[in-house]
Amino acid sequence: MDPIEHYVNLETRRKFLGKLAMGFGSAAMSSLLPGSASAATSLNPPGQGLSNGMLGATHFAPKAKRGIYLFMSGAPSQLDMFDYKPRMTDLFDTDLPESIRNGQRLTTMTSGQSRFPIAPSIYDFQQYGKSGAWVSELLPNTASIVDDIAIIKSMWTEAINHDPAITYIQTGNQIPGRPSLGAWLSYGLGSLNANLPTFVVLNSTWTGRQEAQALFTRLWGAGPLPSQHQGVALRSDGDPVLYLSNPHGVSGDIRRLMLDGVSEMNEDIFHEFGDPETHARISQYEMAFRMQSSVPELTDLSDEPEYIFDLYGPDSRVSGTFAYNCLMARRMAEKGVRFSQIFHRGWDQHGALPKDLPNQCRDVDRACYGLITDLKQRGMYDDTLVVWGGEFGRTVYCQGELTQTNYGRDHHPRCYTMWMGGAGVKGGVVYGETDEFSYNITKDPVHIRDLNATILNQFGVDHQQLNFQHQGLDLKLTGVEEAHIVKGVLA
């Protein structure tokens, strides 16, 4: 159904009151809708049945049709992976100058420490590719694709603890309850393939320290947007979606009959109460029905040839690993899933970083390489956006005891590294600079809001114009503060 018509037909309380107060009909109502304004006289009529999303069409021609977001939950250490700070070696175990920390707030985990000794990275860095980007020895495969990605070393956020920070980058607000990036994309752009969910979430196993930050479904939630836009989390064991298969003895026809009946009853309920969530429920039943055939095919990797597993590395044969999920994400992108997000946990190296970080890096390094190479050879890298990163960075000073071979790092929101590639992102770019302690940004800061605005931009969406009225606010992914497109990483 055309979403605009759909919206018009919703018997919401506001519409009811509007009719009562002003006596205007659906024609007047429709002119208030986003995208349909002055459709009669404009040379830019909205999608008119040519769109699934609430935007009639993208605001401008998109570079990205699909996106794959590799989320490193727990905050990877930029100092040991991308942000090369050779001078720190000489400053081993000296105190971080107060002029650098500058009274910045700390987490309660290190605010009680009597001193903040500098912990240089113990890993070797080298320059790679034509761009000469520095990458540590922990990421040998990522190093080979630096010319395909843009590394942003000047990411920053205000949040200093995991949950507010991950909520912030995922939804644009530290307070839970806002729609996530994927939900916004689903809401605004709609589906590329009606048989598959538009926004899929894949949770991965990890090999670093197993006590890791929890993830919550609200991180891929729809907030006040209609519920069908929330991310569908696929499981890696057994049925990818629980209770998706028909129970024993129930045939597809019987299931269809049942759904038709339920749908009819739901329509009656809708006419009685006019709650749009009733329609969300109906459409989810329908989606589940379509997914009964489309999802098993999607998640069955048996048709992938050997060379593909070679590309993503041996882990890709083990279900639930990050590499397996990357391969899955590529399959989904190819079949028309608009946006998928892979979560990889365990990056919170407060202590014993040299023990855990190499494992974490090994989990993702080869798979990132495999994913991008696979997208490239399929000709999909031109219109698939790939984003890699976590919720904040880690401190240059040591948390806990510092030795020559062991150290830990606390949370650090003032600068950290992410990378993105494909879909109009310029390869071989290293954007932004930090000071020699990787503590403060010295050039081209990129707030997580800027990153989100840039992601929307690549999908052809003006972040200012994708909004949703809720409780008197025009909700936007980028919130009310200014956000800038990071033009320096775009081709």
Partner 1 sequence: MAEKKGSILAVQLLGALCMMVLWWLSGSSILDGEPQDTVWRFFGRFHPVVLHLPIGMFFMLLVLEIVDLRRPESEASELIPLVLGITIGVTLLAVATGTMLAYGEGANEPLVQDHMRNGVWLAMGMVMLGVLRTLPSRGTYYLVLIATGALMFLTSHQGGSITHGRDFLTEYAPEPLRRLLGLEVEEEVQAIRVEDLVVFDHLVQPIMEQNCVSCHNPDKLKGELNLETFAGHLAGGELGPAVVPFDVDASELLFRVTLPDDDEEFMPPDEKPPLTDDEIGLLAWWIEQGASVDQTVGALGPIPTQVDDYVMTVFEQMITPEERERLVEAQRELYATLAAIRAEHGILIQPIEAGADEFTIETHAVRKAFDDAMLHRLEPYARSFVAADLSGTRLTDDGVSSLSKFVRLQTLNLSRTELVGSTLGQLSVLPDLGSLNLYGATLDTAAVDQLVQLTQLKQLFLSQTPLEDAETLERLRQALPDCDVQATAEINPLTEADKSASSYESS
* 49 near partner 1 (CB under 8 A): yes
d(CA 55, CA 382): 23
Q: Within 13 A of 209's CA, how many CA atoms are on the CB side?
A: 17
- Of 17-25, 239-247, 328-336, 427-435, which segment contacts partner 1 by CB under 8 A? 328-336
Only one of the segments 54-62, 100-108, 151-159, 472-480 lies at the binding site for partner 1 (rule: CB under 8 A); that segment is 54-62
Candidates 222-230, 251-259, 307-315, 413-421: pick the segment binding partner 1 (CB under 8 A): 307-315
Tell me how long the chain is. 491
AA identity, residue 74: G
User: Does the protein bind partner 1 through residue 50 (CB under 8 A)?
Assistant: yes
Which residue, 115 or 355, has its beta carbon nearer to partner 1?
Answer: 355
- Spatial CA neighbour of 219 closest among 327, 345, 107, 106: 345
Provide the sign of the torsion angle of the four alpha carbons 27, 33, 37, 43, taken in this order: negative
* 426 forms part of the interface with partner 1 (CB under 8 A): no
Based on the shown chain and the rule CB under 8 A, indicate whether residue 27 belongs to the binding site for partner 1: no
138 binds partner 1, rule: CB under 8 A: no
Q: Is 335 in the site for partner 1 (CB under 8 A)?
A: yes
**163-222 binders of partner 1 (CB under 8 A):** 192-196, 207
- Could you tell me how far CA 432 lies from the centroid of its own chain? 21
Which of residues 235, 376, 426, 484 is near partner 1 by CB under 8 A?
376
Kindly report each contact of residues 8-16 with a partner whose C-beta sits within 8 Å and lies 24 or more positions away, as own/partner.
8/33, 10/274, 10/276, 10/279, 11/270, 11/271, 11/274, 12/274, 12/276, 13/274, 16/274
User: What single-letter DSSP state applies at residue 239?
Assistant: S
The stretch among 115-123, 310-318, 343-351, 404-412 that binds partner 1 (CB under 8 A) is 310-318
Residue 137 touching partner 1 (CB under 8 A): no
Q: Which of 116, 369, 388, 407 binds partner 1 (CB under 8 A)?
A: 369
At 213, the amino acid letter reads Q
Distance CA 73, CA 9 (A): 41
Q: How far is CA 385 from CA 185, 308, 372, 460, in A?
A: 13, 20, 10, 12
Binding span for partner 1 by CB under 8 A among 22-30, 74-82, 167-175, 308-316: 308-316
The answer to the question of residue 43 lying near partner 1 (CB under 8 A) is yes
Rank residues 45 and 224 by Cβ distance to partner 1 and give the closer one. 45
Q: Does the protein bind partner 1 through residue 293 (CB under 8 A)?
A: no
Q: Is 296 in the site for partner 1 (CB under 8 A)?
A: no
- When the beta carbons of 60 and 216 are compared against partner 1, the nearer one is 60
- Return the residue of 372, 385, 387, 483 that touches partner 1, per CB under 8 A: 372
CA dihedral 231, 321, 66, 54 (to 10 degrees): 0
Q: Which two tokens stand for residue 466?
A: 């994708």
Q: What's the burial of 92, exposed, middle or buried (CB within 10 Å: 0-12/13-18/19+)?
A: middle
What does residue 384 show for φ and ψ, rounded to 5 degrees? -120, 125
The reply on whether position 145 binds partner 1 by CB under 8 A is yes
Binding track, positions 455-474, relative to partner 1; x by CB under 8 A: -----x--------------
Interacting positions 71-130 with partner 1 (CB under 8 A): none
CA neighbor of 410 nearest in space, from 75, 21, 9? 75
Q: Which residues bind partner 1 (CB under 8 A)?
A: 2, 35, 40-51, 55-62, 140-141, 144-145, 148, 192-196, 207, 307, 310-311, 313-315, 318, 321, 334-336, 359, 362-363, 365-366, 369, 372-373, 376-379, 382, 460
